[in-house]
Homo-oligomer: A and B are copies of this chain.
């Protein structure tokens, strides 16, 4: 079996209601299994009725990109707070998309309980994408930047 055949089989299998496939042919053996999945977010949300829209409710976890490119990584929010790209409303942002940032240079500010927490780059990096919006709330773990080590 060619690998692309195997991928095809895997795709078909994932769509199927099956839990296991074992296939053996002239010395070749393939075994596919599923773990009990079950994730039922949707219905509960529906059940919860239209949630009241509130300024500052974290879009975060929902909207945040689930995965990043192979050669990049996320810098995530280490605390709950308000995300600021600049040291002051009228000041220019610390970093822009495409910037190369040296280790120790500031990336953003997270405000929590009236404290301005500045966060610096922990390694030399290139800013591939800025994922949080200035002035918005971020949750613990919300991806703030997608970066590439340089």
Question: Residues of A at under 8 Å CB distance from B?
Answer: 1, 3, 5-10, 12-14, 16-36
In the complex formed, the residue of B with least CB distance to A28 is: B25
Contact between A18 and B33, CB atoms less than 8 A apart: yes
* Residue contacts A-B, CB under 8 angstroms, 5 given: A1-B25, A6-B23, A17-B34, A19-B33, A21-B32
Chain B proximity of A19: nearest CB distance (Å): 4
Partner of A20, one of B14, B23, B25, B31: B31
A25 to B3: give the CA distance in the assembly, Å: 11
Nearest 10 pairs of A and B residues by beta carbon: A22-B31, A24-B29, A20-B33, A19-B35, A25-B28, A14-B17, A19-B33, A23-B30, A3-B5, A21-B32
The residues of B that contact A33 with a CB separation of less than 8 Å are 18-21
Contact between A8 and B12, CB atoms less than 8 A apart: no
The residues of B that contact A30 with a CB separation of less than 8 Å are 21-24
Contact between B32 and A35, CB atoms less than 8 A apart: no
Question: Would A18 and B10 be within 8 Å (CB), given that A1-B3, A34-B35, A35-B34 are in contact?
Answer: yes
The residues of B that contact A14 with a CB separation of less than 8 Å are 16-18
Question: Would A22 and B18 be within 8 Å (CB), given that A3-B8, A8-B3, A36-B35 are in contact?
Answer: no
